[in-house]
Structure 1
Amino acid sequence: MVRNDIHEKKILIIDFGSQYTQLIARRVREIGVYCEIWDYAVDEDQFLNFAASGIIFSGGPNSANTESSPRPPEFIYDTGVPILGICYGMQILAETFGGKVESSAKSEFGAAQVLVNDSCPLLNGLGEGLVGKGESYLDVWMSHGDKVVELPNGFNLSASTQSAPIAAMSDEERKYFGIQFHPEVTHTDQGDLILERFVCEVCCCEALWNSENIVTDAIENVRTLVGSDTVLLGLSG
């Protein structure tokens, strides 16, 4: 019997201080994929040893226009690993690759409708109410004060609203994606499917991280560690 490594394919969430970061991790784990949350000040050796199959940049309270705002180290972009930037994470992606981020005259917080371009692999077919060739609307949850106003090099427009002309963007060649709204909250229609498409289709992760496999993996690890030796186990109660 071939034993699958439930930790071989995994997602790394880079935390920029979002109130929803733990919720992103929960959604990824509900898909059945192992993930960890790390602070944005990532150690290079630790990062390379972790060998993430995909990276998610969380949102955050800071402005991408401020020089002192948190940013991931440049070596993250040298690995060729797919990246999904959410909210502030999208703005950091845009700024890093030559896009333009501006402060909005009015912050956008709450329910919104985005006009979806169905050419984006994360959003294709998710919208309702066809409004044009390859375009439809999707109900989402926004929480931002800045917005991307110019696409970065290599990116295409994937979604927009009246107040956020670039509400989603994609660079399929490098497998970089940015979404201004929050797919991790239940207020966003089919947000779980957006994350699943990134994790499973773009990052090629398998849904192996579940209770049954976790127990099996733990038992196998103990057997390997103990071998033919004896064990003294202290059990509460």
Structure 2
Amino acid sequence: MDTQSIVILDFGSQYTQLIARRIREQNVFSVVLPCTAKLDEIQKYNPAAIILSGGPSSVYDADAPPADPQVLHQGLPVLGICYGLHWMTHNLGGNVRPGAKREYGHAEVEIVKDSPLFAHLTGPLQVWMSHGDEADKLPDGFTLFAQSPNALAGMHNLEKNWYAIQFHPEVHHTRQGTEILRNFLFEIVKIKPNWTPARFIDETVESIRKQVGDGHVICGLSGGVDSSVAATLVHRAIGKQLTCIFVNNGVLRMNEFESVQTNLRDKLGLNIVGVDATDRFLGKLAGVTEPEKKRKIIGNEFIAVFEEEAHRIEQESGKVDWLVQGTLYPDVIESQSVRGPSQVIKSHHNVGGLPEKMKLKLIEPLRDLFKDEVRRIGRDLGMPEDVLNRQPFPGPGLAVRILGEVTADRVALLQKADHIVVSEIKRAGLYNKIWQSFAVLLPVMSVGVMGDQRTYAYTCAIRSVHSEDGMTADWVPLPYDVLKAMSNRIVNEVKGINRVVYDITSKPPGTIEWE
């Protein structure tokens, strides 16, 4: 790539994605790679510097996450954070040992010597610690410049441009963390803050034109923000060479198959082909209850439909080689072990759910972006706000909001309940203030009473969360009158549901979707 970037090597920290976000907020491109990344993979991103993340391991353990020590010797500035400090110390001849006292949470750090990393800052610094080990012997050439009550908190080798800190500047609890990262970027690395939406659009459009040539491209359009922005971006690059395919997989929201096509044709000028594959998808999902299997089935079936449509288009317009998807960075992170030793959380239908063999090659122009960045790109593309502000909707649709088997009857129940939830959120003026709000159909039957008669029907859960990028989320304390309106309407208007509950679980430990 032409744009310089900050490469973050991930040793499994829960905060690694925050490092990437804080850097991108400074209009500098950053990318997270597993700590096991090879040097040639790192070089593909034209790094201006390398950051070593935190992690849960001890560097002296036999199963400590590995990384190539040569990343320190590429002539680039390096910043180690928490475990990153330990890894640098261990690999450069210092010593790391279990700390006499574990530091976790708020702490004060004293600045004991000037350092470019703390330029313009005065101590003591209010920081966030999360470590049980400490560096008790510095590597040759390093000087201590910060100290906590219990351990070394900062060291540098000015000749090599190597820096390391024991605390986490990326979290909000470290009050001057942004200033520390800015010092690293602009005082030490001297990188230019030129990663902007306009530049991203120009570079991506040029790249897509070169990639596609005079070939034909199809786009899997869902109507959500991600696929709509991806389609608009590719349309800007190749125009009529793009055909968007909107598939009714039988688990869309109420009336969405018709409304999305009309909306995006009228507002974005896209060439859209609608394919009703309801029976096909529901047939494949019959009897399936395991969440990962649902996702895999839907991912495979989407590709099969796209390939069939590509074959049909080929009869009219020439060979189709490419499939556009609105894959985002959180999809990639959660579907693949991008974070070195960390675990896969779930397979997203458009990443981990894809079949191993595909006839179509993928174009994923948003693959390195977070949701808020995608919305900024969409605004620079001139897309309407009502398209950009749509709350996220999962690619597998209502299938991952129906716990247990997905049937046409259960889909119809959830469509009605979900429509009520969203309409009441909009009525209360909360739709654009909440990341996501929706209904979930539980495989729980309970006894109720309506009109003096006994009922035995399903339970519906309501889920509403605040989030910055979908990686973490907090449940929303919806006003009681809004919850009351939702509950009353659902049990009165949706025959088959007689009980409504509210999900007050954050992410982590839960995920936003139930499956």
What range describes the TM-score normalised by the shorter chain of this pair?
Answer: 0.7 to 0.9
Aligned-partner Cα distance in 2 for 1:48–1:67? 28
Distance 1:216 1:83 in 2: 30
Q: Which amino acid aligns with 2:241?
A: L
Q: Against the structure 1 CA distance between its residues 50 and 223, is the aligned structure 2 distance closer, same or farther, given a 3 Å change threshold?
A: closer
Aligned to 1:207: 193
The answer as to 2:241 corresponding to 1:232 is yes
1:208 alignment partner AA: N
The aligned counterpart of 1:49 is 44
CA drift of 1:230 comes to 6.8
| CA deviation vs aligned residue, 1:53-112 (integer Å, no higher than 9, x gap) | 100000000001213211321221231111100000001111111212110133111111
Q: Distance in 2 between the 1:225 and 1:71 partners?
A: 35
**What pairs up with 1:15-164 in 2 under 5 angstroms?**
15-127=10-122, 136-164=123-151
- Give the whole-Å Cα distance in 2 for the aligned partners of 1:118 and 1:220: 48
Matched, 1:218 2:204: yes
- Distance between the aligned counterparts of 2:63 and 2:85, measured in 1? 17
Please state how far the C-alpha of 1:210 moved relative to its aligned partner: 1.9
CA distance in 2, matches of 1:56, 1:83: 6
Q: Is the 8 A contact 2:80 2:165 kept in 1?
A: yes
Task: Could you tell me which runs of 5 or more consecutive residues in structure 1 were left unpaired when the two chains were aligned.
Answer: 128-135
Structure of higher CA gyration radius: 2
For the residue of structure 1 that corresponds to 2:47, the secondary structure is coil
Aligned length: 223
Instruction: Tell me: higher relative CO, structure 1 or 2? Use CA pairs within 8 A at least 6 residues apart.
Output: 1
Provide the alpha-carbon RMSD of the alignment: 2.0
1:29-73 per-residue CA deviation (whole Å, 9 max, x = no partner) reads 111111111111112322233331100000000001213211321
Aligned with 2:118: secondary structure?
coil
Paired with 1:91 and 1:137, the residues of 2 have a C-alpha distance of 23
Task: Indicate conservation of the 8 Å contact 1:160/1:167, yes or no.
Answer: yes
Matched residue of 2:242: which SS? coil
Distance (Å, rounded) in 1 between the aligned partners of 2:7 and 2:139 = 23
Any gaps of 5 or more consecutive residues in structure 2?
215-237, 247-260, 262-515
Cα deviations by residue, 1:175-212 (Å, 9 ceiling, x for unpaired): 11000000000111210111111122222211111222
Query: Helix, strand or coil for the counterpart of 1:45?
Result: helix
How many angstroms does 1:226 deviate by? 6.8
| CA–CA distance in structure 1, aligned partners of residues 243 and 163 of structure 2 | 49
Contact 1:118–1:124, Cα closer than 8 Å, also in 2 = no
Judging by fraction of residues, say which structure has more strand. 1
Partners of 2:68 and 2:213 in 1: how far apart?
42
Give me the identity figure in percent.
39
Does the Cα contact within 8 Å between 1:117 and 1:124 map onto a contact in 2?
no
Does the CA contact (< 8 Å) of 1:117 and 1:123 recur in 2?
no
User: In the alignment, is the contact (CA less than 8 A) between 2:69 and 2:91 conserved in 1?
Assistant: no
